[in-house]
Amino acid sequence: MSIRTNILLRVYLAFGLILLFAMAVVLQLFNVQFKQGKKWAAMAQTLSTRYMKVDAARGNIFAVDGSLLATSVPEYELHMDMLAGGIADDKIFYAKVDSLALKMSQFFGDRSAKEYSMILRDARKDSARYQLIRRKVGYQELKKIRQFPIFNMGKYKGGLIIVQKNRRIRPFQTLAMRTIGYKNENVKNGVGLEGAYANYIDGESGQRLMQRIAGGVWMPVNSEEEISSKDGADIMSTIDVNYQDVVQGALEKQMIKSDADHGAAILMEVQTGEVRAVANFNKIAPGEYKEQFNYAIAGNQDPGSTFKIASYMALLEDHKVDTNTRVATGTYSVPGKVITDSHGSIGVVSVQRAFEESSNAAVAYLVNNAYHDNQAQFTNHLYAWHLNEKMGLQIPGEAQPVVKNPKNRSWNKNLTLPQMAYGYEMQLTPLKMLSFYNAVANNGKYITPIFVKEIRRLGNTVEHFQTRVINEKMCSDVTLHKMQGMLESVVLNGTGKVAYSPLYKVAAKSGTAQVADGNKGYKAKKQYQASFCGYFPANRPKYSLIVVINDPKNGYYGAAVAGPVFKEIADKVFSSDMEMNQQPPMKFANVTKPTVKAGDAKALQQVYGKLGVKGNPKADSGDFESDTSDRPMGQLAKKKILTVPSVTGMDLSDALYVLGNAGYKVAVHGSGLVKTQSVTGGSIIPKGSKISIELE
């Protein structure tokens, strides 16, 4: 054999060996990838561990009285290790598995005992180390489950694996829902207080060592966290749950009655700026309303006639008019438009009267006549009052106000100014408008509303919040007092009569504005916004309040639609606020001592003592005579009635008692309080005579 042939044979042999080796490698790769792939993948998973984040329990949100508005409650997810030490022996497991299945069936009630037994047995056959037993288990439920067969064998022997989660709940459910807000994985920044104060509420996450097992499921390696989480801080809000309930109830009732599209109502403390209640509703079905959008802080629209307070404040401050200046009502023409009063002309009247009756024509004329040659002078007031700026609220979503000035491209030198005078060609939120009225009530001090008073951790205050002053003094005291008087006169003599109360003074203004129908504009189907804004008690303001209702179907004027809501809220707040009902202490120096009706002498003397009135009731009262003899406490003294008592203003039970005690027969007509009586108080008629009383 030649050398050449020998070399070729060696080459072919080497090449053949390489080819065989390559084929073997390919075959082994195929075997590993496809035949043994599941086996090796499962092994890789069982060897995979990592630290995973454990969310802390979120902090609570409290109402101003300490009531819980939002809190986190523990919720447990239960799994089972089917190869745990206590049940490693098949005899032990199968001897008790049916008892466990029976208990689970009786407790959960969703499957039969046989079905539960099959699930547990199949998991045992598959050597499941993290078999799901139940999600969303409460603490009290967990205590009972721990006593089930197998699970009662101990922390590790029974195989019960407990994973704690936290569920956010609102004890008052829909109360202040949009203000409280929410935060979850699907929302980047969160909503309301939950979103704004997430950095405080969230707390500090812990870490737990987790192991990935077959099926891609992660199970805890240890029963405790390796790095413990720290619970979040608590938020002390300004919301009053009782007032919130009143505001929501009154607003929703009127929304249903008027078949409105959406609306908002806000109650705020005048001096502190603390928001006591915020309600927002929008229609989701006929007669059904929910709080899905915060119109109070994000609902930018033309404010309408409630804005006239700013127009008249500018006019008064610049001495362009006074409250007794005469002005025509009814219509006012400007190039391209005739401004008409919806209620018709009331003739030539004073500025105050025009304000009381909310004349658009009058205020448009006054503003246009005063500022036409220097239109920026008017808008400079609005900018000085920061009506064009956000207030920097504590919760997200505040809309940017839109207030034009002559430099804007859309400014029409003939039309914009007079229309701004009665609340058009601008956009303000209900809370922005309320804050302006609040400034008038607060002696000209314009402050930001606040929703959070402080943040607490473990009961200790870590941060305290106070309102920020936007404008220390909106206008002169002279202008301020005139505006306050004009707002009071609206309720006494004008469009705001619906809010009148004989028990306390109200200062307010109604508003009606035609608003755009989305992208269709003003020329589509007419839509209106009814509003009512003011404060009470007017002589010592404590609360400011605004009600805004959009697109009502059964009437649309502010006084008729929003006014009743304002009235209901104000009445209920006034009746429940003891501080507002607390009258200044009576002073009796140099005054006539009070007369008294017949009654218990000792009790009457005690009343005199409490009031600080000196003297003997017997001597001071012409219609009271006390028996000085010794007799039981509470027995009526002998009495001598000389005249018919006056019962005007009393309720029926008091009137019947007083007149009956005086010895007269009473005929009653009507219901309510006594309006008139047939025989006036002070008259002298024989006992046993008949007296008729009219109630209303």
pLDDT of residue 588: 45
**pTM assigned to the model:** 0.70
pLDDT tens-digit profile of 45-63?
A: 555 776 666 667 788 999 9
* Enclosing H/E stretch for 249: helix 241-258
**What is the pLDDT, as a whole number, of residue 683?**
74
Residue 22 lies in a domain: yes
Is 455 found in the same domain as 426? yes
- Which residue among 551, 581, 611 closes a domain? 581
Range in 68-72, 83-87, 569-573, 582-586 with the lowest mean pLDDT: 582-586
Task: Please tell me the predicted confidence (pLDDT) of residue 641.
Answer: 43
Give residue 612's pLDDT band: very low, low, confident or very high (50, 70, 90).
Answer: low
| 40 domain residue, yes or no | no
- CA 305 remoteness from chain centre: 25
Per-residue pLDDT, 526: 78
pLDDT reported for residue 663: 78
Flag the least confident range among 124-133, 154-163, 259-268, 599-608: 599-608
Rounded average pLDDT over 402-415: 94
Look at 344-358, 404-418, 617-631, 654-668 and tell me which has the smallest mean pLDDT.
Answer: 617-631
With a cut of 90, say whether residue 518 has pLDDT above it.
no
Q: Are residues 103 and 68 in the same domain?
A: yes
Mean model confidence pLDDT for the chain: 84
In this predicted structure, the answer to whether residue 610 has a pLDDT above a threshold of 70 is no
**Residue at 476: amino acid letter:** S
Q: Measure the CA–CA gap between 144 and 72, rounded to whole angstroms.
A: 22
Which is more confidently placed, 615 or 434?
A: 434
Number of H helices, E strands in the chain: 23, 27
Residue 570 domain flag: no
* 367 shares its domain with 463: yes
More confident residue, 231 or 640: 231
Does residue 635 carry a pLDDT above 50? no
Of 299-303, 367-371, 532-536, 586-590, which range is least confident? 586-590
- Checking if the pLDDT of 215 tops 60, the result is no
Its domain, for residue 21, covers 3-35
Task: Read off φ and ψ for residue 201, nearest 5 degrees.
Answer: -70, -35
Listed in sequence order, the residues at least 6 apart from 658 whose beta carbon sits closer than 8 Å to its beta carbon are 597, 645, 647, 650
Residue 685 or residue 254, greater confidence: 254
The pLDDT assigned to 521 comes to 53
619 or 201, which is more confident?
A: 201
Is residue 589 domain-resident? no
Q: According to the model, what pLDDT value does residue 632 have?
A: 36
Work out the pLDDT band at 103, boundaries 50, 70, 90: very high
Mean pLDDT of 341-366: 94
In a domain, 116, yes or no: yes
Q: What is the pLDDT of residues 241-263, one digit of tens each?
A: 999 999 999 999 999 999 999 99
pLDDT per residue over 637-657, tens digit each? Answer: 333 445 788 888 887 777 777
**What is the pLDDT averaged over residues 648-668?**
78
Which residue, of 237, 262, 287, is where some domain finishes?
A: 237
Contact between 444 and 541 (Cβ < 8 Å): no
Within this chain, do residues 216 and 314 fall inside the same structural domain, yes or no?
no
Question: What is the CATH classification number for the domain harbouring 418?
Answer: 3.40.710.10
Task: Check whether 516 has a pLDDT greater than 80.
Answer: no
Q: Cβ(477)–Cβ(444) under 8 Å?
A: yes
The answer to whether residue 175 scores a pLDDT higher than 50 is: yes
Is 665 inside a domain boundary?
Answer: yes
Q: Are residues 223 and 329 in the same domain?
A: no
Q: How far is CA 382 from CA 371, 457, 526, in A?
A: 13, 41, 28
Contacts of 242 by beta carbon, 8 Å cutoff, 6+ apart: 576
Give the C-alpha separation, 639 to 30, whole Å: 117
Across residues 368-372, what is the average pLDDT?
Answer: 96
Residue 627 has pLDDT above 60, yes or no: no
Statement to judge: residues 31 and 57 lie in one domain: no
pLDDT > 90 fraction of the chain, expressed in percent and rounded? 51
Shared-domain flag, residues 288 and 170: no
Amino acid code (one letter) for 294: N
Average pLDDT over residues 204-218: 65
The pLDDT of residue 586 is 47
Chain segment 270-315, per-residue pLDDT in tens: 999 999 999 999 999 999 999 989 999 999 999 999 999 999 999 9
The reply to whether 211 and 272 lie within a common domain is: no
Average pLDDT over residues 394-402: 93
User: What CATH number is attached to the domain comprising 204?
Assistant: 3.90.1310.10
Q: Which of 11-25, 66-80, 119-133 has the lowest mean pLDDT?
A: 11-25
Give 51-83 as a 3 state SS string.
EEEECCCCCCEECCCCCEEEEEEEEEEEEECCC
Q: Are residues 27 and 58 in the same domain?
A: no
pLDDT digits (tens, 9 = 90+) for 438-467: 999 999 999 999 999 999 988 888 899 999
Structure tokens at 210: 């987790």
Instruction: Give mean pLDDT, residues 582-604.
Output: 57
The answer to whether 69 touches 62, Cβ cutoff 8 Å, is: yes
For the chain, how many structural domains are there in total? 4
- Which has more pLDDT, 410 or 26? 410
pLDDT at 47: 55
Give domain status of residue 596, yes or no: no
What band does 172 get if pLDDT is binned at 50, 70 and 90?
confident
pLDDT at 440: 97
Percent of residues, the chain, with pLDDT higher than 70: 83
User: Above 50 in pLDDT, residue 416?
Assistant: yes
When pLDDT is averaged across residues 80-89 and rounded to a whole number, the result is 88
Q: Do 7 and 31 belong together in one domain?
A: yes
What local confidence, expressed as pLDDT, does residue 626 receive? Answer: 38
pLDDT in tens, 547-570: 999 999 888 888 999 999 999 999
Predicted local distance difference test score (pLDDT) of residue 478: 96
What is the model's pLDDT at position 556? 83
DSSP letters, 424-480, are -SEEB-HHHHHHHHHHHHTTT-EE--BSEEEEEETTEEEEE--PPEEES-SS-HHHH
The most confident of 18-32, 505-519, 533-547, 580-594, by mean pLDDT? 533-547
Q: Residue 399 falls within a domain, yes or no?
A: yes
Q: d(Cα 359, Cα 340) in Å, to the nearest integer?
A: 8
Q: Is 630 helix (H, G, I), strand (E, B) or coil?
A: coil
Q: Of the residues 208, 237, 266, which one is the last residue of a structural domain?
A: 237
Are 202 and 303 members of one domain? no
Model confidence at 32, in pLDDT bands (50, 70, 90)?
low
* Listed range (185-194, 324-333, 437-446) with the worst mean pLDDT: 185-194
Residue 264 bridge partners (DSSP): 280, 548
Do 502 and 401 lie in one domain? The reply is: yes
Residue 585 pLDDT greater than 60, yes or no: no
What is the pLDDT confidence band of residue 622, given thresholds at 50, 70 and 90? very low
206-213 vs 326-328, strand pairing mode: unpaired
**Whether the Cβ atoms of residue 183 and residue 166 lie closer than 8 Å to each other:** no
> Is-contact 268 434, C-beta < 8 A?
yes
For 466-504, the pLDDT digits (tens) are 999 999 999 999 999 999 999 999 999 999 999 999 999
